């Protein structure tokens, strides 16, 4: 099966499991995603939904030996990631595909200066001499709003927001075609979050990169993405443009996510909650994984996993009872 030429990334029927001596956790269960060139796609869901595992799979970095991709295909720029040799993967990571991690403190090495860490990326992929690489690292710090003279400082000398800017500078060092951001603002206060998001939007326009934004914050998705995929228990349950999914959610889980967001205007109301608990990936229910928590559940939900149905040109939902959802919306 070949990838579509205009798509920079395609994930098809991806399954990932983690095995320990006593149990097996089914982290991803048939994930299908695609990102067009120059597009920002948001991947949203609760903790444990499989968002980070999806990102690591794109880089073929699922932790081994416990983790294993058991089925599916991943294509980057038309090439199968899962068929790439070690050298091809090493060349791709950090060069064509770069990742911004959730915790900027743990993603930076405390014993190297930030300049050296950015320069390492440039020396590896651009084959620059150390002096030239450090000069380029200084320029990259300037791009993300940090004085270039701070290339000789260590990570602990920066605030959380500044460390995240360093991480963004390192990720953008080689002008990647695809940028993966895994909860890049979670550890930051709201003011710094806004600054980082504005910076990312500006840099995406400047470098014309595609983006996979992983978050549980729907506000971030609305701010920076064109399309959004909602993930639950290792599967995509709703997928479409931000406008369609936000203004006409068709899956009960998506409706529940929006119902849990506080409103800034109007009368004070108790926040809606999704009943029950997130399913255990070691003991997934039969049929639709969400059916034990779903108010729209019908008999088919308990027996058969729903197929992804197209409800409009750019809106897809995996649900047996969308009509019941609209009536109760």
> How do strand 40-44 and strand 308-312 relate by DSSP bridges?
unpaired
pLDDT band at residue 325 under the 50/70/90 scheme: very low
* Predicted pLDDT at 31: 97
Q: By 3-state DSSP, what share of the chain in percent is helix, strand and coil, each rounded to 5?
A: 35, 25, 40
The residue among 246, 257, 220 whose CA lies nearest residue 314 is 246
* Predicted pLDDT at 327: 38
Read off the pLDDT of each residue in 171-195 and give the average, rounded to a whole number.
Answer: 86
pLDDT band at residue 3 under the 50/70/90 scheme: very low
* Predicted pLDDT at 217: 86
The residue among 28, 34, 29, 27 whose CA lies nearest residue 11 is 34
Beta strands of 37-83 (E only): which ranges?
40-44, 67-76, 79-80
* 131-145, 204-218, 254-268: least confidently modelled range: 254-268
Greatest mean pLDDT among 127-136, 179-188, 269-278: 127-136
């Amino acid at each position: 099966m070949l990838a579509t030429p205009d798509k920079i990334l395609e994930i098809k029927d991806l399954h990932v499991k983690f095995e320990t001596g006593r149990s097996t956790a089914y982290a991803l269960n048939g994930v299908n995603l695609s990102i067009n060139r120059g597009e920002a796609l948001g991947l949203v869901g609760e903790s444990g939904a499989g968002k980070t595992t999806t990102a690591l799979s794109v880089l073929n970095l699922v932790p081994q030996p416990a983790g294993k991709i058991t089925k599916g295909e991943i294509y980057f720029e038309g090439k199968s990631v899962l068929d790439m040799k070690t050298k091809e993967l090493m060349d791709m990571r950090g060069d064509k595909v770069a990742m911004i991690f959730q915790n900027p403190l743990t993603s930076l090495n405390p014993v190297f200066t930030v300049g050296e860490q950015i320069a390492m990326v440039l020396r590896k992929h651009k084959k620059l001499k150390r002096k030239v690489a450090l000069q380029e690292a200084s320029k990259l710090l300037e791009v993300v709003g940090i004085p270039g003279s701070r290339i000789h400082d260590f990570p602990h000398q920066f605030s959380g927001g500044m460390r995240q800017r360093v991480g963004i500078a390192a990720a953008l060092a080689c002008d990647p075609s695809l940028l993966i951001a895994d909860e890049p603002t979670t550890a930051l206060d709201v003011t710094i979050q806004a600054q980082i998001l504005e910076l990312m939007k500006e840099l995406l326009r400047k470098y014309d990169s595609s983006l996979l934004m992983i978050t549980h914050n729907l506000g971030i998705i609305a701010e920076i993405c064109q399309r959004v995929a909602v993930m639950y228990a290792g599967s995509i349950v709703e997928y479409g443009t931000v406008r369609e999914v936000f203004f006409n959610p068709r899956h009960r889980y998506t409706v529940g996510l929006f119902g849990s967001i506080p409103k800034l205007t109007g009368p004070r109301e108790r926040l809606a909650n999704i009943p029950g608990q997130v399913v255990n990936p070691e003991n997934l229910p039969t049929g639709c994984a969400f059916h034990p928590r779903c108010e729209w559940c019908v008999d088919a939900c308990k027996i058969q996993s729903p197929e992804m149905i197209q409800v409009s040109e750019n809106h897809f939902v995996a649900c047996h009872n969308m009509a019941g959802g609209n009536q109760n919306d």
